[in-house]
Amino acid sequence: MLAPHRIAGDFVERSMQGRPVTGPPDDISPAIERLERRSYITYLSRLNAYRRLAHANMAWNVALVALSTSTVIASVGTLVEKEMYGKGGDALMVALAVFSLSISLVVSGVGYGTRAKAMEENYKRIQQISVSVENLKEYAGPDRREKYQKLQDEYDVAMTSSENHTAHDYRRTQSIPPHSGFGFWRHVRGFFGWLGHFAAVTFPYMSLIVPVALLVPFGVWFVNGL
């Protein structure tokens, strides 16, 4: 049986020579693997968050442009044909203008575009950290622990320098066994989470009903006047 100092000496020698390290007294391989898994899942979750925010930004921009354009067109129509939208046409135009302004202020306050840009930078940074941690698994130099600690610190900074992803963003990274009871309840809970997410995503497109409803009377009036 080798003495403890012989084992430690062999470990240091292997590390300095860049040879594979097996069973060192202060082996941090489990910690590196945990950081690798955690950083990769975080990267995927933040990527999903970026896609969600970018999509919301695009959808609301389309909805607001459509609403503003249709309101202006309808207002021009009422100047020529007072009864185009009934006796309350003027009040309707004012209400739609206020509604459009309110939605614009809310969307601007939420800041989907700015948040999406920040989330994009964050997920790319975490992706770089995840790749570095993966490469560290094969590294056996004497400064392995220092490199690990540096990556851990960078990961912690990246986590706190941006808003967090949602539970829905995280669930999209997970695979659940289809025939397990635990997986079943996870699916049920995930379904309701997906339903809420679906409603939030589709609401901007559902609001396009208003511009369409405004343009139909204008289109009918315009065609009949040809």
Q: Which residue has the tokens 């995503």?
A: 201
Question: What does pLDDT average to over the chain?
Answer: 82
pLDDT at 223: 87
Q: How far apart are CA 226 and CA 223, in angstroms?
A: 5
Cα angle 79, 82, 83 (rounded to 5 degrees) comes to: 145
208: burial class by Cβ within 10 Å (0-12, 13-18, 19+)?
middle
pLDDT above 50 for 3? no
Count CB atoms within 10 A of the CB of residue 31.
13
Q: Cα torsion for 49, 54, 60, 62, to the nearest 10°?
A: -150
DSSP state of 166: P
Strands (E), the chain: none
Q: How far apart are CA 68 and CA 77, in angstroms?
A: 14
pLDDT digits (tens, 9 = 90+) for 91-146: 998 898 898 899 899 989 999 999 999 999 999 999 999 999 999 998 888 999 99
pLDDT at 143: 92
- Whether the CB-CB separation of 163 and 42 falls below 8 Å is answered with no
pLDDT digits (tens, 9 = 90+) for 157-186: 999 998 999 888 888 888 654 444 445 566
- Whether the CB-CB separation of 151 and 34 falls below 8 Å is answered with no
DSSP H or E stretch at residue 174: none
Q: Which residue has the tokens 């559902």?
A: 206
pLDDT at 22: 45
